[in-house]
Amino acid sequence: MGSCCGKKEETKTDLELNGTKLLEMSRFPTDPLMLLIYVAFSIGMFAIMIYAFAVGQPDRLMYGTDWTGTACGAGDDDFNQFWPNPVFYDTLGSICLNGCPGATWNSTEYPATGIYCHCNAQLVANLTAANGILGTYDFSTIFTSEKSNIKKQCDASSNRGYAYWTADQATAAATSSEALSFRTSEGGGVFDGTPNSYLPLMTGYYWYKQTLADGNSKAMMPICNYAYSTNKALNRCVPDSTAIDSLKTYVCAGDAACGFGTFDSYIHVANNVLTTGMADMITCWYVILCSFLIAILLGFVYLILMQYCAMLIVWVMLLLVNLLLIVTTAAFCYYYTVLEDKVDAVPQMATHDTDQDNMYICLAFAIVFGLMELIVFCMCVCMCTQIQTAIHLVQLAATAIKDMPLLLLYPIMNVLVLGLWSSLWIAVAVFLASTGEQVEHAVYGYFEWHYTTEVEYAVYYWVFGFLWTCEYMMAASFTMLAFCICVWFFTEEEADGDRKLSNYLTRKVIWTTLTKFGGTLATGSLIIAIIQTLRLLLEYIQQKKDEFTAGKVDPGCFWNFLFTCLKCCLACVESCLKWVNKNVYIETILRNSWFCTGVCHVATVVFHYLDYITVTKPIAAGLLWSGKAAITFGTAGFGAYWAASLDVGSIVLPTLMMMFIGFGVATSFTEVFSVAVDTMLLCFCEADYNNQRHTLPKCFKEKDGNNESPEDRLDKAKQAKTDREAESETKTIDPAQQVDLANTE
Residue 550: pLDDT band by 50, 70, 90 thresholds?
Answer: low
In this model, does residue 722 exceed pLDDT 70?
no
Q: Which tens digit of pLDDT belongs to each residue from 186-229?
A: 665 566 777 777 776 534 445 567 777 777 777 777 788 878 88
Give the residue-averaged pLDDT of 396-417.
Answer: 81
For 238-304, what is the HEC assignment?
EECHHHHHHHHHHHHCCCCCCCCHHHHHHHHHHHHHHHCCHHHHHHCHHHHHHHHHHHHHHHHHHHH
In this model, does residue 432 exceed pLDDT 80?
yes
Residue 129: pLDDT band by 50, 70, 90 thresholds?
Answer: low
pLDDT value, residue 523: 93
The pTM score is 0.70
Q: 50-64, 135-149, 328-342: which has the highest mean pLDDT?
A: 328-342
- Which SS3 state, helix, strand or coil, does residue 501 take? coil
pLDDT value, residue 704: 39
Q: Which tens digit of pLDDT belongs to each residue from 227-237?
A: 888 887 778 88
319 CB-near residues (< 8 Å, 6+ apart): none
Delimit the domains of the chain by residue range. Answer: 80-275, 286-491+500-689, 716-744
Give the residue-averaged pLDDT of 243-248.
Answer: 66
d(CA 60, CA 66): 9
Q: Which tens digit of pLDDT belongs to each residue from 51-110?
A: 988 888 777 777 888 888 888 876 566 778 888 887 777 788 888 888 888 765 555 544
Residue 703: pLDDT band by 50, 70, 90 thresholds?
Answer: very low
For the ranges 260-274, 294-308, 597-611, the lowest mean pLDDT is seen at 260-274
pLDDT value, residue 533: 92
Residue 527: pLDDT band by 50, 70, 90 thresholds?
Answer: very high
In this model, does residue 489 exceed pLDDT 90?
no
Give the residue-averaged pLDDT of 642-654.
Answer: 74
pLDDT value, residue 133: 47
pLDDT value, residue 13: 45
pLDDT value, residue 462: 92
Give the residue-averaged pLDDT of 347-375.
Answer: 86
In this model, does residue 524 exceed pLDDT 90?
yes
Residue 525: pLDDT band by 50, 70, 90 thresholds?
Answer: very high
pLDDT value, residue 705: 44
pLDDT value, residue 276: 52
In this model, does residue 124 exceed pLDDT 50?
yes
By the 10 Å C-beta count (0-12 exposed, 13-18 middle, 19+ buried), 57 is classed as: middle
In this model, does residue 26 exceed pLDDT 50?
yes
Chain mean pLDDT for the chain: 77
582 CB-near residues (< 8 Å, 6+ apart): 478, 482, 675, 678
Identify the CA nearest to 489 among candidates 479, 499, 476.
499
Share of the chain above pLDDT 70, in %: 77
Share of the chain above pLDDT 90, in %: 9
For the ranges 478-492, 553-567, 681-695, the lowest mean pLDDT is seen at 553-567
In this model, does residue 47 exceed pLDDT 80?
yes
DSSP of 727-739:
HHHHHTS-HHHHH
pLDDT value, residue 258: 56
Supply φ then ψ for residue 439, to 5 degrees: -130, 135
pLDDT value, residue 725: 62
